[in-house]
Amino acid sequence: MTESSANKPANGEVCHRTTNGVKPCRNGFVKNHYQQQQHQKSCYLEEKVYHIASNGGLYSRPFLESFEQTPMLVAVLTYMGYGILTIFGYLRDFLRDWKIEKCHIAREREEQKDFVPLYQDFENFYTRNLYMRIRDSWNRPICSVPGAKVDLVERASPDYNWTFEYTGRVVRDVINMGSYNYLGFAENKGMCAESAATVTECYGVGVASTRQEMGNLDRHRDLEELVARFLGVESAMAFGMGFATNSMNIPAIIGKGSLILSDELNHASLVLGARLSGATIRVFKHNNMQSLEKLLRDAIIHGQPRTHRPWRKILIVVEGIYSMEGSIVRLPEVIALKKRYKAYLYLDEAHSIGALGPQGRGVVDYFGLDPRDVDILMGTFTKSFGAAGGYIAGRKDLMDYLRTHSHSAVYATSMSPPVVEQIIASMKCIMGEDGTTIGEAFVIHPALISFL
Tens digit of each residue's pLDDT (9 = 90 or more) over 257-300? 999 999 999 999 999 999 999 999 999 999 999 999 999 999 99
* Tens digits of residue pLDDT in 137-166: 888 899 999 888 999 999 999 988 989 999
| Helix H or strand E encompassing 170 | strand 165-175
The answer to whether position 153 is within a domain reads yes
Give the active site residue among 383, 384, 426, 428.
383
Residues whose CB falls within 8 Å of the CB of residue 202, separated by 6 or more in sequence, listed in order: 417
CA angle 62, 63, 66 (to 5 degrees): 125
The answer to whether position 61 is within a domain reads no
- The span from the CA of 282 to the CA of 71, in Å, is 33
Give the active site residue among 179, 291, 323, 450.
323
Q: Which of 149, 179, 209 is the last residue of a domain?
A: 179
Overall number of domains in the chain? 3
Q: Is 16 a catalytic residue?
A: no
Q: Which residue segment(s) compose the domain that 1 sits in?
A: 1-29
Q: Is 352 a catalytic residue?
A: no
Q: Is 104 a catalytic residue?
A: no
Q: Say if pTM beats, i.e. exceeds, 0.85.
A: no
Q: Which DSSP string do the residues of 44-73 spell out, in sequence order?
A: HHHHHHEE---STTS----EE---PPPPHH
- The span from the CA of 344 to the CA of 371, in Å, is 13
Crossing angle of helices 331-340 and 289-302, rounded to 10°: 10
pLDDT at position 111 is 82
The answer to whether position 71 is within a domain reads no
Residue 413 φ then ψ, to 5°:
-65, 145
Q: For residues 347 and 374, is the Cβ–Cβ distance under 8 A?
A: yes
pLDDT at position 31 is 38
* Tens digits of residue pLDDT in 81-98: 999 999 999 999 899 889
Kindly state whether residues 167 and 227 are assigned to the same domain: no
The answer to whether position 437 is within a domain reads yes
Q: Which DSSP string do the residues of 233-292 spell out, in sequence order?
A: SSEEEEES-HHHHHHHHHHHH--TT-EEEEETT--HHHHHHHHHHT-EEEEE-TT-HHHH
Name residue 262's beta-bridge partners.
283, 317
Q: Which of 116, 150, 179 is the last residue of a domain?
A: 179
pLDDT over threshold 60, residue 402: yes
Give the active site residue among 267, 338, 351, 428.
351
Q: Quickly count: other Cβ atoms within 10 Å of residue 4's Cβ.
A: 6
Of the ranges 21-30, 118-127, 171-180, the best mean pLDDT one = 171-180
